[in-house]
Amino acid sequence: MQILSEMRRTHNCGELRRANAGQKVILKGWVAGWRNHGGIYFVDLRDRYGITQVVFDERLGENFDLISQVRNEYVLVVQGEVSDRGENINKKIPTGEIEVYALAFEILTRSEATPFPIEDEVNANEVTRLQYRYLDLRRKPLQDIMVLRHKVNQIARNYLSDNGFLEIETPYLNKSTPEGARDYLVPSRVQPGNFYALPQSPQIFKQILMVAGFDRYFQIVRCFRDEDLRQDRQPEFTQIDIELSFPDEEMIYEIVEGLLVKVWKETKGMNIPHPFPRITWTESMARFGVDNPDMRYGLELCTLNEIMAGCAFKAFASVVEAGGLVKAFSVPDPDKTLSRSFIEKELDPFVKVYGAKGLAWARTGAEGWQSSIAKFFDADTQKRINELAGANAEDSVIFFVASENPRIVNGALGNLRKKIAAKMGLVKDNDYKFVWVTEFPLFEYSEEAKRWASAHHPFTQPRPEHMDMLQSDPGKVLARAYDIVLNGNEIGGGSIRIHSSEMQQKVFRALGIGDEEAREKFGFLLDALQFGAPPHGGLAFGMDRLIMLLACTQSIRDVIAFPKTTSASCLMSNAPSRVDNAQLKELGLKLEKI
Amino acid sequence: MQILSEMRRTHNCGELRRANAGQKVILKGWVAGWRNHGGIYFVDLRDRYGITQVVFDERLGENFDLISQVRNEYVLVVQGEVSDRGENINKKIPTGEIEVYALAFEILTRSEATPFPIEDEVNANEVTRLQYRYLDLRRKPLQDIMVLRHKVNQIARNYLSDNGFLEIETPYLNKSTPEGARDYLVPSRVQPGNFYALPQSPQIFKQILMVAGFDRYFQIVRCFRDEDLRQDRQPEFTQIDIELSFPDEEMIYEIVEGLLVKVWKETKGMNIPHPFPRITWTESMARFGVDNPDMRYGLELCTLNEIMAGCAFKAFASVVEAGGLVKAFSVPDPDKTLSRSFIEKELDPFVKVYGAKGLAWARTGAEGWQSSIAKFFDADTQKRINELAGANAEDSVIFFVASENPRIVNGALGNLRKKIAAKMGLVKDNDYKFVWVTEFPLFEYSEEAKRWASAHHPFTQPRPEHMDMLQSDPGKVLARAYDIVLNGNEIGGGSIRIHSSEMQQKVFRALGIGDEEAREKFGFLLDALQFGAPPHGGLAFGMDRLIMLLACTQSIRDVIAFPKTTSASCLMSNAPSRVDNAQLKELGLKLEKI
């Protein structure tokens, strides 16, 4: 006789239906719950595919007294007969039309009591959940995300492969070229005193692959940044990396839109209209204050400099006089959700985080503005401002920020706009609005380093007509760079790259990277550009962010099987940890006394 | 008017045929060669898809005097008309039916003279080729391998996905658990004095994923080992990693065979017969002397202990008496390829590498053996040995090795068998013979460490009936472990894992890993096994080796886009390299004086 535990399951726990009634089946899975009704045990058997109710009569079967020992998360193999539940359908589960009457069973593995129940919603704190990640991952919401992530992976690979892209693996043990974020270093044992660096992205390698003639490359690849972590960052993250030769921006937009449309269609059954809208960086900053605009709602910003020039409200007039900026936006608020105290206690401090001195505001009404600044503006001017800010005359709130530094105005109002939209319920799940933001500036001025730095990276091509401003007016140089933005989140970005070594050298110089430093850091790229580099460009998606948006989750740790905390620890394995001194000695390293 | 360089290509350089004659096309590519016939230039334009001949008449076109400047590896865009070459077909290239008459062209990028020609066969030394890897990768043989690798990647992912496996990404920044090879370490900045380790394989994580209930997992994943490198090893390598719950060996064999059959069918158009043959490790050692037998030819080993016991040749008789082993195999050699001097100068030293004291041999013939040991064996005994060794009576050579240590005998003859097969031309390209080797020993005795070590890894399940020998006779314990072997190469290996924490602790103890050490290193796995771990098992393929065998190349560096040397350097980027002291200081590290 064959031993039950060695027999294969005939079905998984999610697939039996009324049509299977009368069949003898073998199921394997975890006990998700059990009830004893006077010697009849009802056990919910769970696997990744679903839950099936199994009925054990302890008077039957040789070892059926054992059933009273079974507890949650025990792993069982059950042989039984499928029975039609008739009218008595359990509508909560897809297998609810049937139950299985156990004829034989074995306990495959026992389980301790789990520190939290394996249920869709749990109250356990995140530290416990991360420590017992294997239990947290048994919960259906996380399982569903991992399945979703797998699907997106597969869809992306097949789509890109079908479009002539080759997946080529680039190395993880690389040369350290610190630029932007910190590298994770890997000491070399064979060459003590030397170090590899883990890639922040495969940028240079994918460009080298274009020089090598591969024409179309992609890779779904891990990247690493040793940054001080915020809630939404992880030290290692996954990128869908795409590069092609002989491209133009339109070609890249088409390819990327095709991919995203397919992902949304196949994972959510949604038809995303395309081509996606596009706006230039300059327009995005003007209308939305940010370079990652959320297009699901209006609340667009307007500029009030003309009206405020020489106005009676000196705070605004003086900003205009000093060459600053006064902007505003409005939101209808018939229900008076935005109370004075909410604005003063929540929103005023919020804009100050972005450097604004304060938030001015006005409520419209039949009698004109209710506002501490109402007195500075006559009825006509209030009306003109209402119109410019798109406020209705009855029940809108207008928010104003003024500063001599335009970045402060845009940062404060752009982010306030997002906060207000959330507060007012303008943001809905399963509403997806994509937009291309194009023509980014090539450089950003780093106040810290007191020099110009690459906005994207130093391999981005300036717009050809701006080449002559590289030295004279670097802040005005626009780049052939673009971001794909979804619901206010940058999910990908890229550029047409520099393919001439002369242009690359000019950009390095504009960045204050001398020829010697350029050669030391990027010599192999400069060399490669000498030997017939094709025009090329591409884009990289942040996979983790993409999955977060698809899964409608707020935590990046929900979309990564084994995430790290903000102190870059794995609470399950306790990485990082001490190592033997012998290991360090082999690497030629000593710990500094701390 | 549109600028030619900004227009899209209409075709690639590999696709034009007679049917396109008369069409106006735009091609972009590299100059692979050019000839000037009195002002008419014939240029071979190359991209990853092929080569097209373009004809430039320097008297035509505005800028056609420029054509005389064009040299190899310049990147051009050409607009022209496709012309039928009629009878004058160039059979060397698929586009040989046509040529393109240039109407307009531009030089997109110039190129320096390359350090070696971009041709299928090059003489350049490997150092130069690795330094200019982007040029080496332009050569068709390497491009073809990268395309093949991409295809295998895609086939594997789609096959596994279609069979219900989920690709789940496991972390690269892990806890160091030195066991077997050395870990590559990554110092933590946030927690100075602590280190991550790069994964040698995702072994523990894939087991944890089974505990988490994912049922079927795979990943195509980079792994890292800081070993002293041999020619066929790389510090980072790629694995196809597979794990499933509730498996038995047969289930794993079916899945893996399905994958390999599909890969061979879709990349080489070959139908590989399956199920693959299987032999136990014990049988493989007996018949082939190795655990990775090449099944493309016979030359099987036979054991001669019975005949040699008490024979006149004392060297053999004494080995038998001491409990050793005498084995032999034979090969037909009608052409006398295996001359006395070849055997003495090449083969005798070869077996000594494996620890044998020497190689005895005999040539059969109508008159009996020609051999220095012929005199010790009468005609009947010679005949019996011929039969046992499968030698014919006319023109075979029989090789003998004897030693008190059976591992030496098997190692020497097993490897000699492979060498002889190569020498005798028994090994043919595109002949693929798979075999499963099963029931490996659980432990190997480490002479170095003077203790038992895991043959595979410490998570492998012993055969249940051998559990009670774990302490008493560990060398006899067989494992539920298996390798898939192709043409004498192990391309993958795996096992049914331990899913009970009690069994895991017993195996750790047998390995001399104390409870405290086990908890320190593998605590999170032992914990996970407490909470209802399903029976599980799997297998991992070495992707690089698989591609080498498919591509019929001898060098692992041919199948990796950016390989490292045996001193683990990248000659293109010069990794590893020095880093700033500031970077080390942040990590709390100092270099030892060397």
Instruction: For chain B, positions 380-399, list CB contacts with chain A under 8 A.
Output: none
What is the residue type of A472? S
CA B186 to chain A, closest CA, distance in angstroms equals 5
pLDDT band at B186; cut points 50, 70, 90:
very high
pLDDT band at B86; cut points 50, 70, 90:
very high
Instruction: For chain B, positions 218-247, list CB contacts with chain A under 8 A.
Output: 222, 224, 226, 228, 235-236, 238, 245-246
Tell whether A48 lies on the interface with B, counting CB pairs under 8 A: yes
pLDDT exceeds 80 at position B554: yes
Chain A contact set for B190 (CB, 8 A): 228, 567-568
Domain A297-423 has CATH 3.30.1360.30: yes
Tell whether A73 lies on the interface with B, counting CB pairs under 8 A: yes
Distance between CA atoms of residues B321 and A26, nearest Å: 55
Tell whether B512 lies on the interface with A, counting CB pairs under 8 A: no
- Tokens in use for B391? 């030698």
Chain B contact set for A575 (CB, 8 A): 171, 173-176, 196-197
Class of domain A4-109: mainly beta
- DSSP tag of B373: T
Distance between CA atoms of residues B352 and A119, nearest Å: 64
CA A135 to chain B, closest CA, distance in angstroms equals 6
pLDDT band at B594; cut points 50, 70, 90:
low
Reported in sequence order, the residue ranges of A225-358 that DSSP labels E, i.e. its strands, are 236-245, 278-280, 302-303, 325-332
pLDDT of residue A25: 98
Residue B543: closest C-alpha in chain A: A169
What is the residue type of B562? F
A297-423 shares the fold of A4-109: no
CA B552 to chain A, closest CA, distance in angstroms equals 19
Helices (H), B73-139: 126-131, 133-136
CB contact under 8 A, B524 and A573: yes
**What is the separation of C-alpha A173 from the centre of its chain, rounded to a whole number of angstroms?**
26
Chain A contact set for B8 (CB, 8 A): 246, 248, 251
Label each residue of A426-481 as H, E or C. CCCCCCCCEEEEECCECEEEECCCCEEEECCCCCECECHHHCCHHHHCHHHCEECE
Give the pLDDT confidence of B275-317 residue by residue, as tens digits.
999 999 999 999 999 999 999 999 999 999 999 999 999 999 9
Do the Cβ atoms of A552 and A559 come closer than 8 Å? no
Chain B contact set for A48 (CB, 8 A): 213-215
pLDDT of residue A229: 74
Tell whether A361 lies on the interface with B, counting CB pairs under 8 A: no
| Residue appearing with tokens 């006077």 | A38
Instruction: For chain B, positions 156-215, list CB contacts with chain A under 8 A.
Output: 157-158, 161, 166-176, 178, 182-198, 204-205, 208-209, 211-215
CA A355 to chain B, closest CA, distance in angstroms equals 29
Distance between CA atoms of residues A241 and A203, nearest Å: 9
pLDDT of residue A1: 59
pLDDT of residue B179: 66
What is the residue type of B446? S
Q: Please give the model's pTM, rounded to 2 decimal places.
A: 0.95
Q: How far is CA B220 from CA A176, B152, B238, B461, B544, in A?
A: 25, 11, 7, 24, 11
Give the pLDDT confidence of B8-34 residue by residue, as tens digits.
999 999 999 999 999 999 999 999 999
Distance between CA atoms of residues A481 and B18, nearest Å: 40
pLDDT of residue B39: 86
CA A555 to chain B, closest CA, distance in angstroms equals 17
Q: Side-chain half-sphere of B427: how many Cα atoms within 13 Å?
A: 14
Give the pLDDT confidence of B191-226 residue by residue, as tens digits.
999 999 999 999 999 999 999 999 999 999 999 999
Q: How far is CA A160 from CA A16, A266, A538, B245, B317, in A?
A: 36, 15, 13, 31, 67
- Tokens in use for A473? 């007016």
pLDDT of residue A188: 95
Taking phi over 0 as left and psi of -120 to 50 as alpha, with beta for the rest, B193 belongs to: left
pLDDT exceeds 90 at position B58: no
Give the pLDDT confidence of A202-251 residue by residue, as tens digits.
999 999 999 999 999 999 999 999 988 777 889 999 999 999 999 999 99
Give the pLDDT confidence of A263-308 residue by residue, as tens digits.
999 999 999 999 999 999 999 999 999 999 999 999 999 999 999 9
Class of domain A133-274+535-594: alpha beta
Instruction: For chain B, positions 94-153, list CB contacts with chain A under 8 A.
Output: 108-112, 114, 132-135, 137-138, 143, 146-147, 149-150, 153
The partner residues of B102 in beta bridges, in order of sequence, read: B80
How far from each other are the two terminal CA atoms of chain B, in whole angstroms?
Answer: 66
Q: Where are the domains of chain A?
A: 4-109, 133-274+535-594, 297-423
- DSSP tag of A271: -
pLDDT exceeds 80 at position B50: yes
pLDDT of residue A59: 77
pLDDT exceeds 80 at position B61: no
pLDDT band at B140; cut points 50, 70, 90:
very high
pLDDT exceeds 90 at position B456: no
For every one of its 594 residues, what pLDDT tens digit does chain A have, with 9 covering 90 and above?
A: 578 989 999 999 999 999 999 999 999 999 999 999 988 999 999 999 999 999 998 777 678 888 999 999 999 999 999 999 999 999 999 999 999 999 999 999 999 999 999 999 998 999 999 999 999 999 999 999 999 999 999 999 999 999 999 999 999 999 988 667 899 999 999 999 999 999 999 999 999 999 999 999 999 999 999 988 777 889 999 999 999 999 999 999 999 999 999 999 999 999 999 999 999 999 999 999 999 999 999 999 999 999 999 999 999 999 999 999 999 999 999 999 999 999 999 999 999 999 999 999 999 998 999 999 999 999 999 999 999 999 998 999 999 999 999 999 999 999 999 999 999 999 988 899 999 999 999 998 888 778 888 888 899 999 999 999 998 999 999 999 999 999 999 999 999 999 999 999 999 999 888 889 889 888 999 999 999 999 999 999 999 999 999 999 999 999 999 999 999 999 999 999 999 888 899 899 999 875
CA A498 to chain B, closest CA, distance in angstroms equals 11
Chain A contact set for B109 (CB, 8 A): 499-500, 532-535
Dihedral in degrees, nearest 10, Cα atoms B385, B388, B393, B394: -110
